[in-house]
Amino acid sequence: MSVRKLKAITPGQRFRVVNGFDAITTDKPEKSLLVPIKKTGGRNSQGVMTMRNRGGGHKRRYRIIDFKRDKSGIPATVASIQYDPNRTAFIALLNYQDGEKRYIIAQDGLRVGQNVVSGDSVAPEIGNAMPLSAIPLGTVISCIELRPGQGAVMARSAGAFAQLMAKEGKYATIKLPSGETRLILNNCMATIGAVSNHDHQLIISGKAGRSRWLGRRPRTRAVVMNPVDHPMGGGEGKAAGGHPRSRKGISAKGYRTRSRTKASNKFILERRKK
């Protein structure tokens, strides 16, 4: 995967860096795996805005992704690598031997024509899904379940990966992308390899309009608000704004908001780095 820097033929393209999309093999999605998305504009079911700075954006259709990888022992062939407007990673279309088609998150290095399979006794190769108990120590993994049968919830975004550090009893020790080290049950599924599109972090939009295409509306900085609207508002002239804090007054730098009595705290061996 690569990125391209555009020539400055317009002001919006002067600093723009776009994805090369050289890993993408088709621009036509599988129709049977598409469902419509209804935009909310940040409103709830009563029509009240509960999330600011949302609205507009290009029309999208959701690609149904197989996060569970529960077709055990049935080989599938990678038919194509595709762009997904709903996530940063690329997705892969799989054609199973029994005729079913499914989308999965594409791992870095996954190629068209390659065979992938999920199950307990499969080889630890890129794209294969296995329980943590069957994966060799030190393996780079992604798309990790937190509870057996739940489906992948961790290390799913572009370029993300975790590492299997140790196994003891019914738990495996995983070093997550955030730097956190955590215990996860051995029978949770994970996929071998890092997630595709690791160059996503290098992309520069170049202009405000591109954010509007993605459904993001302009955001007002807290320091230019009035005191009635935000704790950091008010003051004469260009005031600094005081201590960084959220709209509700919670400190925004260094203040830990995780509950000390949360049940899953016992599974975290080392907190993420500050």
DSSP string, 54-104: B------EEE-B--S---BT--EEEEEEE--TTSSS-EEEEEETTS-EEEE
For the cut 90, the answer to whether the pLDDT of residue 93 exceeds it is yes
Q: What is the pLDDT of residues 94-112, one digit of tens each?
A: 999 999 999 999 999 999 9
Label residue 238 by pLDDT band (50, 70, 90).
confident
Encoded tokens for 131 = 């329980």
Average pLDDT for 70-87: 96
Considering the chain, what percentage of its residues have pLDDT values greater than 90? 92
- Beta-carbon count within 10 A of 132 CB: 22
Give me the phi and psi of 31, to 5 degrees please.
-60, -35
Considering the chain, what percentage of its residues have pLDDT values greater than 70? 99
Q: What is the pLDDT of residues 164-217, one digit of tens each?
A: 999 999 999 999 999 999 999 999 999 999 999 999 999 999 999 999 999 999
The residue among 257, 65, 75, 76 whose CA lies nearest residue 157 is 65
For the cut 70, the answer to whether the pLDDT of residue 13 exceeds it is yes
Average pLDDT for 42-51: 96
Domains of the chain: 3-201 (2.40.50.140), 224-262 (no CATH)
Label residue 241 by pLDDT band (50, 70, 90).
confident
pTM for this predicted structure: 0.92
What 88-94 contacts at long range (C-beta under 8 Å, 24+ apart), as own/partner pairs, is 88/157, 88/158, 88/197, 88/200, 89/156, 89/157, 89/158, 89/160, 89/195, 89/196, 89/197, 89/200, 90/23, 90/24, 90/158, 90/196, 90/197, 91/63, 91/65, 92/127, 93/30, 93/33, 94/66
* Confidence at residue 209, expressed as pLDDT on a 0 to 100 scale: 96
* Confidence at residue 116, expressed as pLDDT on a 0 to 100 scale: 97
Average pLDDT for 128-143: 97
For the cut 70, the answer to whether the pLDDT of residue 145 exceeds it is yes
For the cut 80, the answer to whether the pLDDT of residue 274 exceeds it is no
Using an 8 Å Cβ cutoff, are 195 and 89 in contact? yes
For the cut 70, the answer to whether the pLDDT of residue 1 exceeds it is no
Label residue 236 by pLDDT band (50, 70, 90).
confident
Q: What is the pLDDT of residues 28-40, one digit of tens each?
A: 999 999 999 999 9
Residue carrying the six token digits 């202009």: 207
